Structures are given as C-alpha cells and as structure tokens.
Structure 1
Amino acid sequence: MPGTAYVGILHPYETGRYSVEQNSKLLRRYSYIHERLFRCAAGQLPARSHWHLKAALGKHLYEDAEAVGSLRRRMMELRTSPMMLHKEPNISLALLFDELIHAESDMELLVGIYRVVKPALLKAYTQHMADTQQLVDYPTIRLLRGLCTDLQEAIAWGESMIQTLQSEGESVAQAEEFERRIGSFLAAAGGMTGEQGASIKLPPRWRSGTAYEMPRQAVRDAKRMGPPALGRTAIPGQSDDPVRVKLLSMMKSRQEEMAAVENVASVIYDQANMPWEFYQDLARHLWDEVRHALFGQAAMEAEGIDWMALRQYVGGYDPLIVKHPAQRYAILSIGFEEKAMRCPGKIAEYEFCRDEAKHKLMERFQDYDWADEVTHAAFGRKWTPELFGEDLDYVRQVADYEFEERQKAFEAWAKREGNEDK
C-alpha cells in the first residue's frame, strides 16, 4: 500500500523517461490515433450489417472523440504549439488508417480495431504510465488511466463480438489477411509510440488506392432483420387499444433512430475543415442517437416483441446521403429536433408515457430522450450557421424546405408500398 507522503504518489525521486517535449510528442501521436479511429468508425458505421456492431461503433467513436479533446488539452499544458495538433506523426501510421477504413466485412473491421489497434494502444498507455515521472506528470497519468478503462472495455466487447460472429457461422480466417496487413502497417510505423523505430521500407497501399466513400444505402442485416423501409412502418397485429398502439409506435420510433445515427456519422465523415469542437459535439449527438435506438430495442424486448423481424427504417439516411452534409445536419437538428422542443413535441411524448400509458420504462426513456433532444437542438443552432455560412434564420428556411421535400418523397414511397406513412 502507498504511504501518506506525496499523497500516495510513488517514486517521487525518479526522473522518469519523458521530458515535456517528448511527452507532448507522444500525446500528439495518441491523439492522432484516436482521431483516425473516430473517423474510421463514422465512415464504416452505415456500411456494417450487425446491429450490435453499429451500436458499439457509436459508443466507441464517442469515446475516441472525448479522448482527442482530453489529449489536446493536456498537450496545450505541455507548451505544445496549436499548429502541431494537426500534424500527422508518421506516414506508415497514416497508411494504417487509410487501409483500416477499407474493411469489407464486419469481421475485418472487428479484428482490425479490436485485435490490432486498440490492444496496442492499451499496451502503450500502460507502459507510458509506468515510465513517466509519477509526480510531475500526474495529469497525464490520470488521463491515460481513464482512457485505459475505455480501451479495456472496448477490447473485451470486440473479442466477445468476434466470438459471437464465429458462433453464427462466420470465419475469422477470412479476416486474417486484413489483420496481418494492419499489423504490418503498425510495425512499419514503429509501433504505437514509434519507439521501435519506423521502417525505411514503406508498406505499399493495398485497398486504399482509391478514397473510401460512404455507402449510398444504409446496411441492415438481411439474415436477421426485416427488409429496409424508407418510411415509418407499424408493428402489426399487437393491439386494438389506441393507447397501446401509440405506445408501441413510440417504441419502434425510438429503435428506428439508428437511421439518425447513420446520418450524423455521414456528416462527421464528409464534412472537413471544422474545429475539433464540432466533431466532438457531433460524436456526442451520434452516441445519444444510438442510445435512443437502444431505448426502443430494450422497450420492445421487454414487451416480448421480435423487433428484428420488423421492417427496418433507413429513411433518415438513404434519401439524405446525396445531399450536402450541411443539409443533412440541418434537417435533423433544426428540421426535427429543434421543432420537437415546441409544444406538444417531446414533452407530450413524455407525459403520454407517464399519464396515459403508465409505462414506467418508456416514461424513463422519454424523459432522457427529451433532455438529449434539447442538447441536439442547441448543437444545430451552434453549428449549422457555420456549415452554411449563413444566419440561423436562413438555416431554418432550408430545413423547412428540406422537410417538405422529404415528406413528399415519403408519401410517394408509402403509395408505392401500399403503406400508410406514419
């Protein structure tokens, strides 16, 4: 057990390995890795088929975005020039992430992130905390300790997901070549810290000779899920009670917010040259939308509803991906979420669950959904004027126009499908 001297901090007399300059250089490398993981997850999320992988990418990209923000703040405390925050640390490390985003299957992405990159990053952080001077660099140690907790949980989840896919008949052997190549780029970069020495023999590009592009249609798991739908669809054959019908519809609407997740992911990936605060805010927005989709999942599962067998809504992504990222974000944050702050809006959904349906779980979910939407509307008001280069009144007019055009498209889809658009 540590003693009482030095508030329990050990080895106060040792010098440690890192000067301020060396420490800053390593943290910049770590920040770059988290940023590239963040962008990779955003770009890949709509393309991945397994529901649990989509959800995890949303959680983990949020954690990576938070890590970047924390590491940047620590770097600025270490006399780092703001110009250095955007410098790529090593060409082979850049190539690693150029290749990682070209994963062609759920399994490839899983082994690349959770068997190569994140375990190597965890090892580097563990060694860094042991090697740095424990007293002078305590702020870095405390920061890395928290990042290690996130990494440990993510790696454990990734390994469990790999095992799940194998139990469902998918072979990890088909992803071995991808795992090997990602590992070779990491080795050529001198490892996570670069301290192993970068190779003078640069590995050739493999799949990244052409730039990665977001998919034109959001992917759903055809083996497990119902077919995609551009418009809202009901839960068939559940009840004639109008209160229960409305309650179940609300559950399904929450689960369908994965389409909003994919929309925000596309904005993150396609919108360049914004301040880091923008990407960090959108990472929070995206993870909130993932949680909302899981609200709906949990609520329907608690009711014994096989929600995966139902049609899967993709109308929050497919019709929007062809538009400018500013349009995509405006219709979600201003066209929908800001309007949801007006009465009856989100407060009516919450009060319905509390007072009419008397459903404790959905009452709790809608309470927090409402709180999150307040935050998202604020994000929209903050960033959409920057994206358009116009004032907020202009953005609201654009959002109204896009909303009307969207409704026309959904009505046409419903007519073709023979469904009533909800």
Structure 2
Amino acid sequence: MSVPYLPGVHRGKYMRYDTAVILKRFYLCERMLVVGQAGWLPGIPYFDIKTTLPKLLWEDAMTGHALRERVFELRFPSRILETGEDQPLIDFLKSVTHAPSALAYLMVVSRLIKPAMKEAYRSYLDLADEIGDGPTYRFMELAIEEKTKHIEHLENFIPIILDHTPEAERSVAEQWFNQQKNVWEQVGGISLETPYQVEGIQAVEAFVPSEIAVREDRFIPVRFYWPDNIDATFPYGSGFQLQLRSAVSHMNEVWAVENAGFILCAFADTLGWDYIYDAARWLYDESRHCRMGYERLKSWGFEDAELPLGTYIFDSCRGQDPIYRLGMLFYFESKNIGKKIDRIKNFEKMNDRMSQHDMDFDWADETIHTSYGKTWLSALLKKRGLDPDDYTKTRDVCESLVKETLKTATPEEMEQIRGIAHRMYVKAEQLL
C-alpha cells in the first residue's frame, strides 16, 4: 500500500537551474548592449544623445549586474558564466555594433534589441514565481520600466538624426537595418527559449570606437574651449568670470564622456565585467557633469551658438594605445580634484547655489573616479605583465600628450577663443 501525500501546488514554471540559464542569457545581452552603446559615443555627433545615452547604458549595466549576481546565487558555488548555446545571439549583438552609422546602430538598439529585452523580461515574470524567485522580480520589474523609457528617448532622437542625415546615408542605414532584422528573426531574438543555431553570422573583431570626436554644428566647434587652455597669462577670473569658466569647463567634459565610452568598449573583454560596471558609472557621472555646465549656461541666458565645445583632450590620444585614454581620465581627475573645494567655497560666497551644488556633487564623484583610475590602470598593467604600481608613469605620459597638443595651437585659434570668451563676458555683464 502506497503512502498518501498531499497534492503539489503549481506556482512557477522554472526550477532553479532553468532560471539561471535564462537569466544568464539576459545578462550576456545586457553586457553586449552596454559595451556597444559606450563604443558608439565618440561617433555620435549630437550633444543631447551623447549626454543621455550614458544614463541609459548605466541603467543597463545595473540590470546586467543584478542578473549576473542572481545567476551566481542560483548556481552556487559555481561562478562560471559560459556563453554556450547562446553564442548565435551574442554573435549577432556583437556584429550589429559594426553598424555603418550611428543612425543605423541606434535604430537596431531602439527597434529590435531593447523592445525584445523588455518583452522577454515581461514574459519571464509572467511565468516565474514571485515567492521562490522574489529577488529577480524586484530588479526585473524596474528593468522593464527603464527599457520602456529608453525606447521612448531613442525614438525621440531618431527623427532628429534623420532630419540631419543625407538621403543616401539614410538609405544605407534603413537597408542595413532590414538586413539585421532578417538575421534577428532567424536567431529567434531575445526570449526565454534557446536561440536558433543558425549559420551566416560571421565572427567579427571587437568594435573600435572613433578616434575623432564627432560633433554637431549647434555649438561653436573649437579645439581649445577657453583661452587659458593655451595662454597661461589669461586669468581664470573671479565673480561672474569664474562662474562662466567653471560652467564652460563642466560642459566641455563631453570629452570625458567620449573618452570613458571609448575605454569601456576597448577594455571590456580584457578587464571583464567588474570593470565594465565601474566604467559605466564613470561614464554616466561624466555625462552628468557635462549637463551641469550646460544647464547653468542656459539658465543664465546663453544660446547654444554662443558656447564653445572643444576636443583637444580627446584629440591628444589619437593614434595612441587606449591605455592612455584611461590614463587621461585619471590624470585630469587627480589633477583637478583639489581645486574643487576652493571653487565650492567661492560659489558659496557669491551666493551661487547652483554652481556650488554642481561642484559639490562633482567633487564627490571624482573621489570615486580617482579610485577607478588607480584600480583599473593597475589591473591593465598587471594583465600586460607590467608593474601594476607604475600607473603614475602612464599618467605622466598623458600629461606629456596634452602639453604636446597645446603646443599645436595656432594664432587663429587663440584669437577665436579669446573672442568667444570676450563676447560671453560682455553678455554676462549685460545680464547682470
């Protein structure tokens, strides 16, 4: 006679291992998405996209991190994340990073990848168990909200890009998008099921970001964004001059956005996920600083066409080992952090609460960034078989690269940036 037992109650479809397999796939997709978006930042000309996309990819990184940690919990004690049967999907995501243009890449991200991820997350929650898998519920519900907002942002940007894109380039982007859509359907997209093992997705090399900081003509295109960049006798100024100089400097941290995107992409495979996670935050922080300066200038009444947007720091690393782009961020973070306390005090005396507020948060961010710079420069040197404590030598090379770039300033560039600063001073006096 068999022993009677109580009937089982069905709640979730997936057991622990099945859950880990699906979440691992989602993590790998988020990872590729973060790296691709970061790598495209130098090649995107539009200021609003350059300073918005970092927030989106940072949120993707936060989701990816939560997914990764959850997989480790479910697979304990194993901490291996193999690609396995998800390889066709990951190959596709890697291949689309090599888009013919920023427009083409953003179309794929906005119209294929992010919508598919949002729907896959929603499908997962419909079938999972909120009790057994409660931790996943919390961050995945947030991820769905974020992906919805991401798609809205990108779909608002795409028409703007289309309006500024020649017909021939638009045609190439649309044709390429349709080709990728066909491959995407063959792979099966991103879902709860294992991707189809299709042929025809060629293995590609890692994406190499642009070494030219592409800019729109909405601002004044310059290499050197303020006279004191190339003229040591030009005063940093006090009063409204200091306010303007600080705001313009903050806005011109767009070079740091571009550089941070470059190095996130360049060293993603070498340094791994912990680096990607830190670099995504670093990148997001730099975009916030950039917006700080821009918003202050706009609040004072300045128009975009009156504002200089320079490239010289990004330019100084052109043709160099990307380690110097990482070093360049570290160099400027450690070089300027001590000055920010004085700036905060000066703005407090001026009763400029906005500049004081921005500089105060900037200072807090840069204390984190100096740690990032030291940690990851050391890690990269160690990977290369070099002394990890020699990171200061890399920083010294960066200082030299900047000095050599400053020497290339022409009299015409000096005259131009002096004129821009003078006109901004005059306008500020009128606004006073």
Q: TM-score, normalised by structure 2?
A: 0.84
Q: How does 1:357-372 map to 2 (within 5 A)?
A: 358-372=351-365
Match of 1:249, SS state, is: helix
User: Relative to structure 1, is the Cα distance of residues 103 and 275 closer, same or farther in structure 2, using a 3 angstrom cutoff?
Assistant: closer
CA offset at residue 252 of structure 1?
0.6
Could you tell me which amino acid in structure 2 is paired with residue 217 of structure 1?
A: I
Instruction: Verify: 1:214 aligned to 2:215, yes or no.
Output: no
In structure 2, distance between residues paired with 1:372 and 1:414: 34
* Among candidates 315, 318, 326, match of residue 318 of structure 1: 315
Match of 1:183, SS state, is: helix
CA offset at residue 300 of structure 1?
0.7
Contact persistence 2:63–2:140 (CA under 8 A): no
Could you tell me which amino acid in structure 1 is paired with residue 280 of structure 2?
A: A
Contact persistence 2:88–2:197 (CA under 8 A): no
Q: How does 1:9-28 map to 2 (within 5 A)?
A: 13-28=9-24
User: Relative to structure 1, is the Cα distance of residues 104 and 395 closer, same or farther in structure 2, using a 3 angstrom cutoff?
Assistant: same
Contact persistence 1:41–1:57 (CA under 8 A): yes
CA offset at residue 95 of structure 1?
3.3
In structure 2, distance between residues paired with 1:169 and 1:275: 36
Contact persistence 1:230–1:318 (CA under 8 A): no
Q: How does 1:219-234 map to 2 (within 5 A)?
A: 219-222=214-217, 224-230=218-224, 232-233=226-227
CA offset at residue 24 of structure 1?
0.8
Contact persistence 1:264–1:282 (CA under 8 A): yes
* Among candidates 360, 368, 373, match of residue 375 of structure 1: 368
Q: How does 1:327-366 map to 2 (within 5 A)?
A: 327-333=324-330, 335-342=331-338, 345-356=339-350, 358-366=351-359
Contact persistence 2:120–2:192 (CA under 8 A): no
Deviates most, 388-397 or 47-56 = 388-397
Contact persistence 2:120–2:191 (CA under 8 A): yes
Could you tell me which amino acid in structure 2 is paired with residue 306 of structure 1?
A: E
- Corresponding residue for 2:70? 74
- Corresponding residue for 2:153? 157
CA deviation map 1:191-225 (0-9, x unaligned): 21262x644542455xx867632212110013x23
In structure 1, distance between residues paired with 2:82 and 2:303: 47
In structure 1, distance between residues paired with 2:66 and 2:148: 18
Deviates most, 164-173 or 276-285 = 164-173
- Corresponding residue for 2:108? 112
CA deviation map 1:282-309 (0-9, x unaligned): 1111100000001111011111112355
Contact persistence 1:90–1:189 (CA under 8 A): no
In structure 1, distance between residues paired with 2:305 and 2:78: 47
In structure 2, distance between residues paired with 1:177 and 1:199: 24
Deviates most, 263-272 or 24-33 = 263-272
Match of 1:305, SS state, is: coil
In structure 2, distance between residues paired with 1:257 and 1:63: 21
In structure 1, distance between residues paired with 2:237 and 2:266: 44
Contact persistence 1:263–1:320 (CA under 8 A): no
- Corresponding residue for 2:425? none
In structure 1, distance between residues paired with 2:82 and 2:91: 16
CA offset at residue 231 of structure 1?
5.7
Could you tell me which amino acid in structure 1 is paired with residue 291 of structure 2?
A: L
Identity of aligned residues (%): 24
In structure 1, distance between residues paired with 2:78 and 2:215: 41
Contact persistence 1:220–1:228 (CA under 8 A): no
- Corresponding residue for 1:138? 134
Pick 1 or 2: higher relative contact order, CA cutoff 8 A, min separation 6: 2
CA deviation map 1:250-306 (0-9, x unaligned): 101000001011111111111232132111111111100000001111011111112
- Corresponding residue for 1:274? 271
Q: TM-score, normalised by structure 1?
A: 0.85
In structure 2, distance between residues paired with 1:270 and 1:233: 32
Unaligned runs of 5+ in 1: 1-11
Match of 1:317, SS state, is: helix
In structure 2, distance between residues paired with 1:215 and 1:173: 22
Q: How does 1:369-408 map to 2 (within 5 A)?
A: 369-389=362-382, 394-408=390-404
Could you tell me which amino acid in structure 1 is paired with residue 408 of structure 2?
A: A
CA deviation map 1:49-71 (0-9, x unaligned): 11122122211221122222111
User: Relative to structure 1, is the Cα distance of residues 67 and 170 closer, same or farther in structure 2, using a 3 angstrom cutoff?
Assistant: farther
- CA RMSD in angstroms comes to 2.9
In structure 2, distance between residues paired with 1:21 and 1:405: 51
- Corresponding residue for 2:177? 179
Match of 2:214, SS state, is: coil
In structure 2, distance between residues paired with 1:106 and 1:267: 18
- Corresponding residue for 2:429? none
Contact persistence 2:103–2:173 (CA under 8 A): yes
Could you tell me which amino acid in structure 2 is paired with residue 325 of structure 1?
A: P
In structure 2, distance between residues paired with 1:33 and 1:277: 16
User: Relative to structure 1, is the Cα distance of residues 397 and 110 closer, same or farther in structure 2, using a 3 angstrom cutoff?
Assistant: closer
